[in-house]
Each structure stands twice: as structure tokens, then as C-alpha cells.
Structure 1
Amino acid sequence: MSSPVKGVSLPQSPVKGGTPTKVPGTPADLTQSKKSSKTSSPTRSTGEEVQRFVHQNSDDEDYYTKPDFIYGGPFITVNRPSPFLDTMTPMNLPLQGTFKKSFAYFSLKDRIPVILTKIIDYLSRDGANIKSANGASEEDLNNFMQSVVKLKNDLVTNKDYDPFTLDTPNAKKWNIWIENQDNKKYFNNTWMFTECYLYRKLREGCELTKGLQNFDYFEEQKKSAFDNNVELMCIVADKMVNMVHKSEKDKRKADFVTLLKICLWANKCDLSLSLGSQVNLIQAAKDATEKLRLNPPPPPPPPKKGKKGKGPAKDAAPQAPLVISHDPFQMILDLKDKLLVDDTSKIADQIVNKADAMMKAVNANTTFKFKCSCHRLATLAGVPLCKQEAPPTEEGKEATPEKEAKEGKDKKEATPEKEGKEGKEKKEDAPKQIPCPAKMTVPQAVMFDIVCDNTGYELFADLCLAHFLVAQKIVQKVRFHVKDMPWFISDVTEKDFRYVVNACTNSNFSKEASSGVTEGEGGAVKVIKADNLRTLGQQWNQYLTDGVFQIMAEEYWTYPHVYRDMKKYDPNLYRKLQYAVAILFKGDLNYRKLLGDRNCNPTTGFEAALQGFIPAPIIAIRTVKAELICGLPKGRWDQLTAADEKWMQTGDYGVIQYCPKGEALKVADRPCMDYCQTCFGVICPEHTDI
């Protein structure tokens, strides 16, 4: 029998006794150092027992469909259970890379390797500039590049997760989470955990260097994304300056609804979906218009006659325009049929009503008259009390009776002027009577929270909504929750947030309108300018200075956990969110975490899909870029899937969903987040985030 492996001599007779003869250089030898292999139970071939060699832990996903080699016997097909199934994600299962017709599999196999390759190319192409801008060495650059290459290789070959080598609390948490995973391979584990692990491991490559600690490998792409859509921002800014003026109820509601929808379609600017390629909505609109003209929709049905031929015929449905506008306000009308769930009217009414009620509670709140109850809460929770030690003397020893007597004599000798002066200073230095966050059941201000997604035009749209809510006195403060590291290419970090605000403030954009619209009848083409964009940017900077806008970057937003587990992994953040009048979650990643990254029935209601995560009323706004959704009318999912089975991967459709329920804020059964870190006595430090 000829050998299937060149240069390897194989035995010519069957192996007896069920034990294979070890042949140096065979696949068994080659894989033994890499993976431990197991053999199947003996089988018979031509009357003799033989034993199969099986790659028990093969990294090759297609290995399970290939024939296994039998020592001393012929090739036969061995049917092994494969973790990879040629199907979509089954209903009610987590999204993961083992379903080969799913977007999760496609992302891990094709999309993310391209993203990592682009980072490697960027490091190779612009290495000199990167080193100069970050004060990094050639060794730093090479080490980071090698870590990205290894990460990509481990992904495409479906290796086990590597533990983190950083000696930080965050890295230690990740190592515990990795250890607790039932499946530790990239494709075999849940898509959420693997994706978050990949971006966190990517960051570790920088953290392990000396000069690239603060390097954002996505920064240039994010800046270009902003520049490519400044014209859209100018168009919105020109109308925003009128929206922020105090208006009557109906107009205020209409503007609220409009801004929510602008926030939705701005979510199309997602660089992770485009693999880092720039998303220019103006060019995208032109491309869509050309495609529509080449493949026009069928004409509307003919007008229907009145009943039994009597009465006038009804008007025919108007022909849809064969033009897709890039104007954000026209886009809302053009994409009306693409908005699958629209709770904007309900949101506009109920948020305003809830904010009014909360405003009354805040104004009537008497909590601030009382001292903090940290010690009482600590006792209830069984936490040891902090001790307020007496201030040390000059010698560093405790005060003695003799010294106390001397100090008393000195006090008596103090002059009235001196005593008055010291008393005044003491009064000024006295801490404010700030209540403990664990005790408060009413916030310090009416707040609206936005859990951000992408920077650039999408963040601009979020800022416009926040500005409107404050200017119309619906809320007093807006908290923006951003990522604490570069994440999913275009996700907002604090640095990105400040860049967008400053770029708006300093913009000198001026250009003829891409739509060709003219000034007046037969006039010249309208020129789009950044005058009002600068006005908005200046106001946003002032809001940041005054604390009306607050940027918050908690670690939890880059954890691999879905939101129903927030209480378990970050109870302090959950409590902070409870102070909000509502929480707006932007984008697809947040939507996946809200739904537990599980392929639920598409007709499941939004509240049920949240699986108990209701710290406050929740708004979800996303364009659909992953195969999970809820709240659809019966039959709608089937209709869309029949027309295009990949409709959930394109970002062409969107939802704006609302759950009005929120968990009641009550006195916590644990001490506040500051307790026992530093002894503040009976007074907590002032919290600006509640």
C-alpha cells in the first residue's frame, strides 16, 4: 500500500491486538507535542482489529468531515460530531461562531481578521509617525505588531484564549472570566465574549509596551469619519439653532421625535461593519439612488373603484421617488418603511411626563439636610467601620494628658480676633452635608443618560438630542457613557468625545451643497457653512465646563457581560443608572447586550427581551447589524427574510424601542462605593454623577 504522506513508510500488515505500531514522522508524532490525542474503540477490518487515530482537539474546523487514517488499513470516512453546524443560529441560543450560516461565524472568520490586518498594515506603513507622536521605540512598535499578528493567527486557527499577562485588577478579572468559560476557543464560545476578548487583548498589546500605553490604533479612522460627514452636521446644526428655543408642546414633541430618528440613521456610520472603511452618507445616498434607478420598484397598484362600481375611485398610491437624499431630515422620510419599530411618540410623551414628576421630587427633596449614613449601612452590611484616628502630633505620637492641658492653655490665651479668624476659616473649610449615594432615593438633578456607540456624526447627533433636552428644560443634566479604551473601531472614548466637540467649535467648513439645491428660484447653488455648527460646539464646551454634560467611562462597558448581569459585576454602576429619568442605549453592540446576545423570537416584546434589566426606563436605538431582534409584528421577520435572508447584516433597517418600567430606587443594603477606601468620617464626598 502506498503511503498517503510523502517520505513516510507505513506498515503493510494490519495491526493486531488493537494497538497501533508507532511510526516516526506520522501525524500522531507531529501532533503529539501540540495536542493530546485519544483513540477510538477498536474496530474490525478484514477480520482484524485496528484502531483509528483521531485528532480529538483539532484546530481545523473541516477536519471533522475528512477521512481519518487507519494504521495498516484503508482510508474510511469517520463521522465525528462537529462543533460547526451548517445552519443559522437556532432560536433561543446565544450567538456564536459555530453556526456557519450566521453573522457571528462570518465576523470571526472574515471580518475581524481584516480589521486586524489593517492595523498591522497601518503599523508597517506609518510606523515612523506613530513612534514620533507617542514617544515610542522601534521595539515598542515591533512588540505590538507581533501581538496583533499572534492574535489574528490564534483567531483564524480557533485556538484557546490566552490569559492576560498584565498585573492589573482588570486583567485579573478577565483571567477569572476566561477560566470560568465552558468553551475557551474563539469560535466555540459565545460571540459576545470572543469579540470583547479580541478587542481587550488588542489593547493589552499596547499596555505591555513603554511608549504605546495611550496609542489609539483606530484614531485616524475616527477622525476621517468625522471629516467625511461634516456637511451633514452643518445641515442639522442650521435647524438645531431653532429647535433649542423654548417652544410650545406640539412643536417640542415633533422636534424630540425628529432628533431621535436622526440619532437612529446616524448609527449607519459604523466603522466596524465597514471593516474600518470610511462611511460617507452623502456618497452612500448617491450610490443608493443610482442602484434604485437601475432597479426601480414596481409601479403602485391601479386605483380601486368605489363599492360595486358606485362612487369615486380612490387615489392611486404615489410613486416612490427614485432619489435617496443624504439630507438627514429628508432621510427620515425616505427611510420610513425601514423603521421596523417606532416608539418615538411614546418616548416623547412619557419621558417629558416622568421628567416633570422627577423635577418636583428633586425640588422637594430634604435628604440634603441630613448627614451621611455610611456607618449605619456598613453595620447592616457587616462591613467593619472605618476609624477616625486623632491627628498625629509633631512627634507622630498620640496626644497625652499633659499635651492636651498645654493645648487648652494655648486656646485660652488666644485673642478674640485670632479666635474669630480661626472660626471663620473652620466654618469655610467645613464639608458640605452631602448624603451617601447608598442612602439617596432621589437624584440631585433630573438626568438623562446616553450609552454611546460610534463617534463622529453619530456622536454629533447624540449631542444634539442632549442639547435639545437641556435647552427645552426637560432635563437638567445629561450623562454620556463612553468606552475606557479603543473599542470596536469607532466606539466613543473620552478623547474622541472632546475631539468631536472641539472640532465642531473650530470648524471652518464651507462648500456648495452636494444635493445641488439652490438659493431661491434659479439662484446659485446653496453654500453649506459651519457657522451654526461652531455655535453648537461652543455651547457644548460650556455645558462640559458647567457639568451639564458629563462624560463617564466605567469599565463595565468593555466587559464581556450582557446587561442582565450588571448587578452581579458592577452594582455601583447599576445604581448610578437608576438615578436617570431614562437611559438611551445606542447601536448594535448595546442592543445585543440588552437582549443577552441571544437569538430570541423576533415577536418577543422588548420588555421581556431585556430579561429583568430595568434600572430605569430604557430606550434602544440601533440600525440592525446582527441577527437578533425583538418586538416585530407577527410575520414581519418572515416577510423580510424571504426577500433577503441577510437583511439583518446590512444596517439598512432600524428600530427605536422603549420600555417605560424602571426598578424603584431604594436605600441600598450595602455601603456606598466610597466606603472604606478613604475615611471621610460621617460625610461622603460630593458626587457629581447622581
Structure 2
Amino acid sequence: MPSAIHSEPPREVWTSEEGSMARETAIARWPKIVQNMIDDVEDTFGQSDVPEQIEEGRRIQATLRIIKGEIMQDKPLHPLSSDGRPDIQSYNAQLESFGNITWHNCPWLFAECYLYRCVQTLFARSQFWRNYDIFARQKLSAFVASHAAVEELCERYVSLTDAGAFAKTDEEAERLIFYEMTEIALWGNATDLSLLSNLSLDQIHSLQGKKAIHEGQARIVSNDMPEAWDYLKSHRGRRVDIVLDNSGFELFTDLVYALYLLDSGLASAIKLHVKSIPWFVSDVMPHDMDVLLSALADTSLFPGAEHRSVRAVTERLSDCYKNGLVTIAEHPFWTTGFDFQEMPAVAPELHENLLESTLVIFKGDLNYRKLVRDANWPHTLPFKEAIGPLRGGKGGEGIKILALRTNKADVCVGLSRETLERVENEAPGKAWVRNGKYAVVSFSDGV
């Protein structure tokens, strides 16, 4: 029986909390991220022969150094300068609502969003750097470095396609393939495919295959995959949305998952939600789709481009993209400082659109944190309670949510007491919520 809904949700995680990942991020990680930005700008203007671009780049670089220094010295966060986008006003209103906050004493989730939005104002207000993606170089190099994992995943997908795995067979095989493909999307931010059970269709049908899949789910500490499968199989053939996380190999696994949903008939169309500005280093922007497809077809960038399986998957993805089976959607809400529980009030048109989707799949750690408000919930609190107004109920419809998240921040809900005891013994000192080796698959049916 679910526990009673908390009338007063706990406060969101702050960077002042000793021993928290939030504090570690503010003190150590943010300065390194900004330093990488400084280096990237220098690499770019170092290749330019346009004096005005170089001078403007140096000014941007100087401001980035100031931001890095303010973080390290625990200075107050200041109101953002307008760059023509309407979200600046809401950022500054939120900032004012928190009172006098500093980098080492502020709400972690808001401050991270504020940091990336602050950096974007530097480029948006420039002349020669207006459309610059400061993370593009990192994103492409990381994807190219994952070519072996891409080739392996393509071979697996093509072998399953050739074997007729995605045609309707018996229900048990369909369910196990759904589990396997969902795990690929779940662990997509790791290029180590040894995390997966790597089964052929014949093996999936066997008892050994079923055992391997279930054993591979031991690190999924809260697993609603059975409920998600029961829901999706009874609502097959409609639109599925995916709120994307990282570009590179993770985007590729998400696209393979989209192909699977289409090829199996579980979805008739896929809408991919991307960020409209450079965000959290590696988040997907619209152009990242074209970059990925171009890289997959370029042998000078991608050694495996000539492999039959890579060509087959690339052509299938390109066809789905061109024919509108896979579409890309931007919305400014995804890069605001608001958590997703504020979506009905802040972005009602986006909320209404997502209500029309059969299922909205939220990928990754940041999207999970925004779903549950990044609050200090008990780990045993049910996921549907942690997402608040997004869950529906009381006569109102909620978004149908499937959250696929590897654990890289302290907030995590939906565990049984037995599982919590087990993982705290296996990975003590909060390692199980921080090291990315454990995960959750959380589902809400919107009622």
C-alpha cells in the first residue's frame, strides 16, 4: 500500500549541505567546467583570422574567468543581463525569491541551470559568437571515440531485425525484447556494453536468456519495467515522446530505441525533445542530430561507417527523420530554472502537448532531478508521490511518464526497504546514488 502523500515536501538540495554531491559539485566540478569553456573559446579564436571575432572571443573568455573566480570565492549570484530571450525575467525573479544566495549556499538544481544560462548570455549578446555551441567539440569527439560501441550496437540491432525479433511473436518474447531494448536506452550514457546481456533472439527465447536479463536488472534499484510494458503493449501504435539527455553515444542509443519502438509497432511516431541552447555540457541540441548522422556516414570521422550494420541503421534513422516518423521539438521551458512540477503553470501549452502523448520517456539524471524537484525525499517514497502534480489523480489527467536514469545525484526514490538495505551495503557512503553504476526505471500511468 502506498504511503501517505507528504503535505510539506522537503526542501530541495542546497550546495551548503556538507557531504552532499551538491557541495562537491559547487566547489570542485563547476570551476573545472568553466575552465573547459575558457579553453574551448581560446581553441576556437586561435583558428580564426577575423580580428573582430578574436577580440570578441577574448572578452567572452575574460568574463568566463570572472565567473570561475566568483564560484571559487563563493560570491553571490547576480541578476542575469537580458539577451532577448523571455526566460531572463523568470530567472531573475526566482533568484530574488531565494534571498541572498552564494555559489556555495544555493539550491543546487537552480544554480546549475543559472550557470549555463548565464554563460549563454555572453554568446547571445555577441556578434560573431551568437550561434556558437561551446560544447560542440567535446560532444563530437566523445561520439567518435565511441565508434566500437556504436558498431556493436548496430550489429545487435540488425541481427535482431534480420531474425524478425520486432515482428509480433509470442508475448513473452516481446516482453523480454522490450526489457533488453529499454536497458540499452537506460545505460546509454556508458559505452561499456558489457553492462547489457547481449542476447540473440534464440537466447532470449531460452531459459538462460531470461535468467541473464533478470540478473542484469539487479543494479536497477527501482524497476517499473513490467508496469511500463503492460501499459505500452495495451496502448501500442501511438505517439511516444522522448525528452533527451546527452548527445553522442547516448543520443545514438536513444535513436536506436526510437527505431525499436517504431519497428515493433509500439509507437507510430516519435517526438524528440531537445534543448535550444548549449546545456549541461553534453545535452542534445537540434543540430546534434545532423552532426551524428553526418558522422555515422563519414569514414574520415567514423571508422565503422562502411560496416553493413552501421550503414543499415544510419539509413533507417535518416529515412525516419526525413519522413517525419521521428521529429525534433524545442521548447524554452527545458532550459529554465524551473523543475518540471511547475510545467502546468509555467508552460501550460507544453504540458497539454505532453498529455496527448501515449508515453513520455525522460532520459537521464537531470531530467529525473527535475521530475522529483531534486528534494531530500526518503529513498522509499513512491515515485508517483515524488512527482507531485505531474501524476494526475483527483479527476485530473497526468502525463504518462517513464523515467530512465542512471544514478548520479543524491535524490532517488521508489526503493523497497529491502533493496535500500542491500545497495547501502553493496555501495556504502552514498556511492549507489552517485557512481552511475545503479539506475532506476520509474513509471507513472498518469492516474
Please state which band the TM-score falls in when normalised by the shorter chain.
0.7 to 0.9
Tell me, what secondary structure is at the counterpart of 2:358? strand
Match of 1:217 among 134, 148, 155: 134
Match of 1:173 among 70, 84, 90: 90
One-letter amino acid matched to 1:336: Q
| 1:177 Cα offset (Å) | 2.6
The equivalent of 1:347 in structure 2 is 228
User: Contact 2:139 / 2:248 at 8 angstroms: preserved in 1?
Assistant: yes
| 1:638 Cα offset (Å) | 4.1
Equivalent-residue separation in structure 1 for 2:298 and 2:53 (angstroms): 33
Tell me, what secondary structure is at the counterpart of 1:184? coil
User: Contact 2:188 / 2:254 at 8 angstroms: preserved in 1?
Assistant: no
CA RMSD of aligned residues (A): 2.4
Match of 1:329 among 198, 201, 209: 198
- Asked whether 1:624 is paired with 2:407, we answer yes
Equivalent-residue separation in structure 2 for 1:185 and 1:344 (angstroms): 40
| 1:466 Cα offset (Å) | 0.9
What whole-Å deviation, never above 9, does each CA across 1:291-344 have from its counterpart, x for those lacking one?
xxxxxxxxxxxxxxxxxxxxxxxxxxxxxxxxxx37772796775332212222
User: Contact 1:585 / 1:619 at 8 angstroms: preserved in 2?
Assistant: yes
One-letter amino acid matched to 2:280: F
User: Contact 1:586 / 1:622 at 8 angstroms: preserved in 2?
Assistant: yes
The equivalent of 1:607 in structure 2 is 384
| 1:152 Cα offset (Å) | 1.1
Equivalent-residue separation in structure 1 for 2:424 and 2:235 (angstroms): 38
* TM-score, normalised by the number of residues in structure 2: 0.86
| 1:126 Cα offset (Å) | 4.5
User: Contact 1:262 / 1:328 at 8 angstroms: preserved in 2?
Assistant: no
The equivalent of 2:125 in structure 1 is 208
Q: Whose Rg is larger?
A: 1
- Asked whether 1:640 is paired with 2:418, we answer no
1:383-462 mapped onto 2 (5 Å cutoff): 446-462=238-254
Tell me, what secondary structure is at the counterpart of 1:593? helix
Tell me, what secondary structure is at the counterpart of 2:360? strand
| 1:167 Cα offset (Å) | 4.5
User: Contact 2:187 / 2:195 at 8 angstroms: preserved in 1?
Assistant: no
The equivalent of 1:150 in structure 2 is 66
One-letter amino acid matched to 1:569: V
User: Contact 1:262 / 1:329 at 8 angstroms: preserved in 2?
Assistant: no
| 1:247 Cα offset (Å) | 3.3
Check 1:332–1:561 CA distance in 2 against 1; reply closer, same or farther (3 A cut).
Answer: farther
- Asked whether 1:258 is paired with 2:258, we answer no
The equivalent of 2:4 in structure 1 is none
- Asked whether 1:562 is paired with 2:318, we answer no
One-letter amino acid matched to 1:487: W
One-letter amino acid matched to 1:173: S
| 1:155 Cα offset (Å) | 1.5
| 1:500 Cα offset (Å) | 1.5
User: Contact 1:97 / 1:187 at 8 angstroms: preserved in 2?
Assistant: yes
| 1:242 Cα offset (Å) | 4.4
One-letter amino acid matched to 1:498: D
Match of 1:247 among 151, 155, 168: 168
| 1:659 Cα offset (Å) | 1.2
Check 1:190–1:251 CA distance in 2 against 1; reply closer, same or farther (3 A cut).
Answer: same
Check 1:618–1:183 CA distance in 2 against 1; reply closer, same or farther (3 A cut).
Answer: farther
Equivalent-residue separation in structure 2 for 1:638 and 1:145 (angstroms): 48
1:52-451 mapped onto 2 (5 Å cutoff): 92-129=10-47, 131=48, 137-168=53-84, 169-244=86-161, 245=164, 246-248=167-169, 249-268=171-190, 281-282=191-192, 325=194, 329=198, 335-355=216-236, 446-451=238-243
One-letter amino acid matched to 2:442: Q
The equivalent of 1:552 in structure 2 is 329
Check 1:167–1:482 CA distance in 2 against 1; reply closer, same or farther (3 A cut).
Answer: closer
One-letter amino acid matched to 2:219: K
What whole-Å deviation, never above 9, does each CA across 1:555-595 have from its counterpart, x for those lacking one?
11111111111011100000010111011011000110111
One-letter amino acid matched to 1:556: F
Tell me, what secondary structure is at the counterpart of 1:538? helix
Tell me, what secondary structure is at the counterpart of 2:132? coil
* Unaligned stretches of 5+ residues in structure 2: 1-8, 200-211, 392-397
Equivalent-residue separation in structure 1 for 2:124 and 2:63 (angstroms): 11
Q: Compare relative contact order (CA 8 Å, sep 6+) and give the higher one, 1 or 2.
A: 2
Equivalent-residue separation in structure 2 for 1:530 and 1:135 (angstroms): 43
One-letter amino acid matched to 1:624: N
Tell me, what secondary structure is at the counterpart of 2:342? helix
One-letter amino acid matched to 2:20: S
What whole-Å deviation, never above 9, does each CA across 1:638-667 have from its counterpart, x for those lacking one?
4433542031211111111111225xxxxx
1:582-593 mapped onto 2 (5 Å cutoff): 582-593=359-370
User: Contact 2:184 / 2:196 at 8 angstroms: preserved in 1?
Assistant: no
| 1:121 Cα offset (Å) | 2.4
Equivalent-residue separation in structure 2 for 1:335 and 1:110 (angstroms): 33
Tell me, what secondary structure is at the counterpart of 2:341? helix
The equivalent of 2:394 in structure 1 is none
Equivalent-residue separation in structure 1 for 2:422 and 2:266 (angstroms): 39
Tell me, what secondary structure is at the counterpart of 1:612? helix
One-letter amino acid matched to 1:630: V
Tell me, what secondary structure is at the counterpart of 1:354? coil
User: Contact 1:505 / 1:538 at 8 angstroms: preserved in 2?
Assistant: no
| 1:503 Cα offset (Å) | 2.3
User: Contact 2:196 / 2:216 at 8 angstroms: preserved in 1?
Assistant: no
User: Contact 1:232 / 1:327 at 8 angstroms: preserved in 2?
Assistant: no
One-letter amino acid matched to 1:225: A
The equivalent of 1:503 in structure 2 is 295
User: Contact 1:502 / 1:537 at 8 angstroms: preserved in 2?
Assistant: no
| 1:474 Cα offset (Å) | 1.9
Check 1:161–1:186 CA distance in 2 against 1; reply closer, same or farther (3 A cut).
Answer: same
User: Contact 1:266 / 1:457 at 8 angstroms: preserved in 2?
Assistant: yes
Match of 2:446 among 653, 656, 661: 661
Tell me, what secondary structure is at the counterpart of 1:613? helix
Tell me, what secondary structure is at the counterpart of 2:235? helix
- Residue identity over aligned pairs, in percent, reads 25
Aligned residues between the structures: 412
Equivalent-residue separation in structure 1 for 2:135 and 2:213 (angstroms): 30
Tell me, what secondary structure is at the counterpart of 2:221? strand
* TM-score, normalised by the number of residues in structure 1: 0.57
Check 1:465–1:628 CA distance in 2 against 1; reply closer, same or farther (3 A cut).
Answer: same
* Unaligned stretches of 5+ residues in structure 1: 1-90, 269-280, 286-324, 360-445, 512-527, 663-690
